[in-house]
C-alpha cells in the first residue's frame, strides 16, 4: 500500500495532466457530436421544406427554357390538371387510368398496349415512395421530374427528368405524350432523281432528336445505295435560322449497307434519326442525301472513280 501512495506522490502532476486531457477529449467528442446532430437536423429541415413546399422553389408556369418572359397559354390550368392527374395515377400504381391519359399518337408511336407502357416506361420510372414536380418548358411541353421521396426512403434522391406534351383530342379533352415525345407531323414531300423517288412521309419530334419516316422507290433496273458511307455526315437536315444554314447530322450508326440498299423496281421504308432538338428556333426545311449511289454494281467495281448523286427533299 505504501508503494502505491509513494508512486502517486511522485507522479501526481502527470496523473492530473492525464485526467484533464481525458476530460477535454470527452468534452471535445461531445461537442462534435452536438454540432453534427444540429447540422443533420438543419439539413433534414431544409429537405422537408423543399419537399412539402415545391411551389416556393420555382413557378411551374414560367418556362425553364426561356425564362420569365415565356409563359403557357390560357389553358395552363387544364394542362396542370392533366399533368397532376396522370402523375397521381402513376404514383398510386393505377396504370390503367394512366395509360388512358396517353394520346392516341403516343400510343401509336411508343406504347401500343398497356403492357408495353408498363414494361417500357412505368416500371423503370415509378414505384413506391416517389414524388414529382414539373415546370413549363415550351409550346405545350412541360419538364417533369420524378424523384425519390427522401423523407420516406432516406436515400440520396434519385430522379428522372422527362418531357410531357399536352395534346388536345375530342371534346376539348387533353391527353399526354410522354418519354420526350413531342408530337408527329405529316409531311408527304417527294423528290425524284434519275428514276428514284424519295418521300419524306412524316416527322416524329422528340425533345432531343427527330425521326423522319422516309420511303424510297427505285423505279430503275439498277440497285441503288442511299449512302455509300464513304464519309461522315453525308445524310443531314438543314436548319435555317435567319440567313444562316446549319447542317444537323443523321444518326447513321444503325444504318448498315443492307438497310440502305434498294433493289431494282423495289420500295423500302426507313426511320432515320437526326440531331434536331425541340426548340422554337429550329426551322428544318430540307433533308439531304449527299452521297447516293445510283448503280451499286458499278460502284463496287470502281468506287474510286464513281460520282455520287445528291438528292434534296423539301420538308417545309
pLDDT tens digits for 24-75? 666 666 665 555 444 544 444 344 334 434 444 456 766 666 666 565 667 8
Domain limit, last residue, from 179, 207, 239: 179
Number of domains in the chain: 2
Q: How far apart are CA 213 and CA 160, in angstroms?
A: 29
- Please identify, among 146, 179, 212, the residue that sits at the C-terminal boundary of a domain: 179
Q: Answer yes or no: is 155 within a domain.
A: yes
The residue among 179, 206, 221 that closes a domain is: 179
pLDDT number for residue 37: 44
Give 208-260 as a DSSP string.
S-EEEEEEEEE-SSS-EES---SSTT-EEEEEEETTEEEEEEB--TT--HHHH
Both 202 and 308 in one domain: the answer is: yes
Calpha distance 33→26 (Å, rounded): 11
Owning domain of residue 252: 183-314
Please tell me whether residues 207 and 165 are part of one structural domain. no
Mean pLDDT across the chain:
83
Mean pLDDT of 251-275: 93
Whole-prediction pTM value? 0.75
125 & 187 share domain: no
Instruction: Decide if 104 is inside a domain.
Output: yes
Asked if residues 313 and 287 have their Cβ atoms less than 8 Å apart, the reply is: yes
**194 and 117, same structural domain?**
no
Question: Is the domain of 132 the same as that of 237?
Answer: no
The residue assigned the cell 412541360 is: 142
Amino acid at each position: 500500500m505504501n508503494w502505491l501512495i509513494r508512486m502517486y506522490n511522485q507522479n501526481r502532476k502527470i496523473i492530473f495532466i492525464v485526467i484533464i486531457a481525458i476530460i477535454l477529449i470527452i468534452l471535445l467528442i461531445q461537442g462534435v457530436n452536438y454540432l453534427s446532430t444540429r447540422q443533420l437536423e438543419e439539413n433534414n429541415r431544409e429537405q422537408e421544406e423543399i419537399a412539402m413546399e415545391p411551389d416556393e422553389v420555382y413557378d411551374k408556369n414560367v418556362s425553364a427554357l426561356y425564362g420569365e418572359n415565356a409563359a403557357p397559354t390560357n389553358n395552363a390550368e387544364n394542362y396542370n390538371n392533366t399533368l397532376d392527374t396522370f402523375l397521381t395515377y402513376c404514383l398510386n400504381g393505377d396504370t390503367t387510368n394512366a395509360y388512358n391519359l396517353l394520346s392516341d399518337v403516343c400510343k401509336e408511336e411508343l406504347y401500343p398496349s398497356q403492357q408495353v407502357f408498363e414494361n417500357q416506361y412505368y416500371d423503370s420510372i415509378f414505384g413506391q415512395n416517389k414524388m414529382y414536380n414539373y415546370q413549363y418548358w415550351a409550346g405545350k411541353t412541360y419538364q417533369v421530374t420524378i424523384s425519390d421521396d427522401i423523407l420516406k426512403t432516406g436515400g440520396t434522391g434519385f430522379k428522372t427528368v422527362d418531357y410531357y406534351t399536352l395534346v388536345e383530342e375530342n371534346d376539348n379533352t387533353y391527353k399526354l405524350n410522354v418519354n420526350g415525345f413531342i408530337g408527329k407531323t405529316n409531311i408527304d414531300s417527294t423528290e425524284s432523281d434519275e428514276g428514284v423517288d424519295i418521300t419524306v412521309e412524316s416527322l416524329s419530334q422528340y425533345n432531343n432528336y427527330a425521326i423522319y419516316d422516309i420511303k424510297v422507290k427505285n423505279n430503275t433496273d439498277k440497285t441503288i445505295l442511299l449512302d455509300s458511307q464513304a464519309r461522315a455526315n453525308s445524310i443531314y437536315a438543314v436548319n435555317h435560322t435567319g440567313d444562316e444554314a446549319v447542317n444537323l447530322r443523321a444518326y447513321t450508326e444503325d444504318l448498315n449497307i443492307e438497310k440502305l440498299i434498294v433493289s431494282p423496281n423495289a420500295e423500302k421504308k426507313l426511320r432515320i434519326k437526326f440531331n434536331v432538338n425541340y426548340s422554337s428556333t429550329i426551322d428544318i426545311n430540307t433533308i439531304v442525301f449527299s452521297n447516293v449511289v445510283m448503280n451499286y454494281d458499278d460502284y463496287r467495281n470502281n468506287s474510286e472513280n464513281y460520282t455520287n448523286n445528291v438528292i434534296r427533299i423539301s420538308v417545309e
